[in-house]
Structure 1
Amino acid sequence: MSKMTENNSKLHECACRNLRMTTRVITQYYDKALQPAGIKSAQYSLLNDISVKEEGISVNELAEHAMMDQTTVTRNIELLRRNGLVKVEIEEKDSRKKRITVSTDGKAVLAAALPLWKVAQAELEQTVGREEYENFLKTLSVLKKMK
């Protein structure tokens, strides 16, 4: 067996490759489900993360919470801001820092998206099975701690 074939023969066991492939499929699944609300799954997740803090959240806090780099968060926040879904305001105490809050329009989009997300979530759990799904979440939780 050649070295190339030997390396490729184990590729189907690669956690990174399998997770990336699965993530693409699941992202497309949720994006399609949320389409009637006019947002994608990444936007929905960020809006939810921001909405948890009434007083707003900083880019750093959001990046840490979402396990994303600050540049990616900043780019996504700018898209949400341009679409009128979030407000970005300079902090009074430190003008170098910004607070992000969900706008009135953003709250309306979240309200419209929630039932769509719930249906998609229920279908996904039903497809996998509740016990398997819970085990899957536990596994993902363990893997996230590798950071």
Structure 2
Amino acid sequence: MRRMAIRLENVGIAVRDLEAAISFFTDLGLTVLGRDTVRGEWTDTAVGLDGNHARIAMLQTPDGLGRLELFEYIHPAAIESEPTRPNEIGMHRVAFSVDDLDEALATAAKHGCHPLRGVATYEDVYKLTYVRGPSGILVMLAEALKKD
């Protein structure tokens, strides 16, 4: 049986403030590939919302392999919800490998984002932590302990 080709295109996250989210993720090292405002029948159909209208930005990791699409709804109005907790069912975090966890945490702190509890060490493999990013997004930051 022939296996269908598949690859991860991006992770999309609705945010309260697009500019604040872009600032956070670009300070961590991602770059903005593009921005747009989308609306119309095609987006109503694709997203499944009548009158869908959003400002969007596509960001990319320095290695070019990971992409993050951020979107701020103009219409329909964004629905505020409680920030996701790590043990809730469903998508709840985006994870990044970083060269220097202390530097990444200093950058996150400039945006008012701090570890939920602290920095942990997973065996002899990673130092890692979760921070609550802009719009309540859970962001995992991990530094490999054994450098190649």
Task: Please classify the TM superposition score into its range, dividing by the shorter chain length.
Answer: under 0.3
**Bigger helix fraction:** 1
Larger Rg over CA atoms:
1
**Could you tell me the TM-score, scaled by structure 1's length?**
0.27
**Bigger strand fraction:** 2
